[in-house]
Amino acid sequence: MHPILFEIPRIDLGAWVIGPIPIRLYGLMIGIGFLLGITLAARRAKKEGINPELILDMGVYLLLAAIIGSRALYVLTTMQEFTRNPLGVFAIWKGGLVFYGGLLAAVPVGIWYVKRHGLPVWKTADIVAPSIALGHAFGRLGCFFAGCCYGAPCTGPACVTFTDMHSLAPLGIPLFPTQLMESAGEFFIFGLLLLLIRFKRFDGQIFGFYLVFYAVLRFIIEFFRGDAVRGVYFGGLISTSQIIAIAIALSAGIAIAMKWKKKTGLAAN
What confidence tier does 230 reach under pLDDT thresholds 50, 70, 90?
low
* pLDDT band with cut points at 50, 70 and 90 for residue 8: confident
Structural domains counted in the chain:
1
pLDDT at position 104 is 85
List 23's β-bridge partners, or say none: 6
Write down the pLDDT at residue 74: 76
Q: How far apart are CA 135 and CA 36, in angstroms?
A: 7
Residue 3 lies in a domain: no
Q: What is the DSSP letter of 82?
A: G
Per the domain annotation, does 150 fall within a domain?
A: yes
Q: Is residue 39 part of a domain?
A: yes
CA pair distance 61, 191, nearest whole angstrom: 25
| pLDDT at residue 49 tops 70 | yes
| SS3 (DSSP) at 205 | helix
Q: What is the mean pLDDT of residues 83-100?
A: 68
Rg, the chain, Cα only: 20
DSSP type of residue 47? H
Task: Write down the pTM of the prediction.
Answer: 0.85
Amino acid identity at 55: I
pLDDT tens figures, 140-197: 999 899 888 899 999 988 999 999 888 889 999 999 999 999 999 999 999 999 999 9
Structural domain containing residue 97: 25-268
Query: 196, 206 in Cβ contact below 8 A?
Result: yes
CA-to-CA distance for 125 and 244, rounded, in angstroms? 20
In this predicted model, which residue has the larger pLDDT, 122 or 265?
122
Report the pLDDT averaged over residues 214-242: 81
Stated as kind and residue range, the H or E segment containing 40 is: helix 25-47
In a domain, 9, yes or no: no
Within 10 A of 77 (CB to CB), how many other CB atoms are there?
A: 18
Answer yes or no: is 18 within a domain.
no
On the question of pLDDT at 267 being above 70, the answer is no
Sequence-ordered list of residues with C-beta below 8 angstroms from that of 219, at least 6 positions apart, any chain: 241, 242, 245, 246, 249
Q: DSSP character for 152?
A: -
Omega within 30 of 0 (cis) for the link into 170: no
pLDDT score at 213: 97
Tell me, yes or no, whether 187 lies in a domain.
yes
Read off the pLDDT of each residue in 70-93 and give the average, rounded to a whole number: 72
Residue 1 lies in a domain: no
Q: What is the pLDDT of residues 30-47, one digit of tens each?
A: 889 999 999 999 999 999
Give domain status of residue 163, yes or no.
yes
